[in-house]
Amino acid sequence: MDRVRTVRKAVIPVAGNGTRFLPATKAVPKEMLTIVDRPVVQYAVDEARQAGIEHIVFVTSRNKQVIEDHFDDAPELISSLSRSGKSAQISELEAMLPAAGSVSFTRQQAPLGLGHAVWCARDLIGDEPFALLLPDMVSFGARGCMAGLMDLYHEVGGNVVGVEQCAPEEASKYGIVGKGETVRHGFSVTEMVEKPAAGKAPSNYYLNGRYILQPEIFSILAHQTRGAGNEIQLTDGMLTLSQSQSFHAHPYEGRTFDCGSKQGFIEANVAFALARADIGDIVFESVRDMVLSHESRIRAA
């Protein structure tokens, strides 16, 4: 194996319109919708930092200025909190604030797909491997998914993807990888199939929105023809890259919530709330009472 180069940078695409959450996302970016009291995009940033990422590149679009403001200093707010003696909130805000110069923003001027969004970050990433985190996919567990990808990457190099297992009959809904030789933190990828036909999936391991990719993906995406949805698909580019470079998969031991869907977003709010020491017990009681009431209504119907 060639020398494994350090992964210092991460790309987080935040250019989507969030049409599945209209009307809430008419004026508020979907990435700024909150899971309990933190915006969705903050979870991706925290996960990247936990994995050792030093610099984050956001690929954004029009009407997303509030994301940039969220990761900037807010002296007026800090001053107001200070006058009110709210030191705990000040400490939390300061802990979330990235170091100066450790975030960059670039625009995706047209909605041409995930592959195109990644390609838009090429000059900010340069000729080095990088992490990619899809913010809609929120990791829930004792450890973020990207940290596990880093473990596997340091072991095998090349390209690494995060995966989880789904019910075999639901494999046609996802991008699926074929399972090859087992290594310490995962396994080699034998193939990648986007939404395979029912009964044709090579496994039930689906891509969960976490990647470590080599910079050669940029030159591939630059000439990638449009695929599904008439968009430049990242999976198509990875398939081309896999012809010359290795891919391995890390099975995440936690759970990923698809917060781009209403169901996943609600499930994430419940899961993260229940895990909180300050509100978990109260939320549990409320959810339990609502579930019991719902079951009672169903039985009475």
Specify if 134 maps to a domain: yes
Whether residue 148 lies inside any domain: the answer is yes
Question: Cis omega (within 30 of 0) on the bond before 23?
Answer: yes
Residue 206 domain flag: yes
146 occurs within a structural domain: yes
Q: Are 176 and 192 spatial neighbours (Cβ–Cβ below 8 Å)?
A: yes
Q: What are phi and psi of 4, to 5 degrees?
A: -85, 115
**Position with higher pLDDT, 231 vs 138:** 138
CATH number, domain with residue 52: 3.90.550.10
Where b means 16+ CB within 10 Å and e means fewer, 231-267 reads bbbbbbbbbbbbeeebbbbbbbeeebbbbbeeebbeb
Residue 97 counted as domain residue = yes
| Whole-number average pLDDT of the chain | 92
Q: Nearest Cα to 129, choosing from 47, 218, 210?
A: 218
End-to-end CA distance of the chain: 64
Q: Whole-structure pTM over 0.85, yes or no?
A: yes
Domain extent for 147:
9-260
Instruction: Note the pLDDT tens digit of each residue in 213-247.
Output: 999 999 999 988 877 777 888 999 999 999 999 99
d(Cα 283, Cα 274) in Å, to the nearest integer?
6
Identify the three-state secondary structure at position 25. Answer: coil
Percentages of the chain per state (helix, strand, coil), in multiples of 5: 40, 25, 35
Model confidence pLDDT, tens digit, residues 82-112: 999 999 989 989 888 888 889 999 999 888 8
Mean pLDDT of 177-190: 93
Counting Cα atoms < 13 Å in the Cβ hemisphere of 290 gives 7
Q: Does a structural domain hold residue 293?
A: no
Q: Using CA atoms, how far apart are residues 161 and 189, in angstroms rounded to an integer? A: 9
Say whether pLDDT at 115 is over 70. Answer: yes
Strand-pair partners of 162: 250
d(CA 10, CA 118): 10
Domain membership of residue 147 (yes or no) is yes
Rg of the chain over all Cα atoms, to the nearest angstrom: 20
* pLDDT for the residue 110: 85
Q: Where are the alpha helices (DSSP H) in 104-204?
A: 114-119, 122-125, 145-156
Could you read off the pLDDT of 257-294 as tens digits, one per residue? Answer: 999 999 999 999 999 999 999 999 999 999 999 999 98
Please report whether residue 289 resides in a domain.
no
Count structural domains, the chain: 1
Q: What residue has token string 């979907």? A: 30
148/135 Cα distance (integer angstroms): 17
- Percent of the chain scoring above 90 in pLDDT: 74
pLDDT score recorded for residue 2: 53
Residue 1: pLDDT band with limits 50, 70, 90? very low
Residue 133, pLDDT > 50, answer yes
Number of C-beta neighbours around residue 283 at 10 A: 18
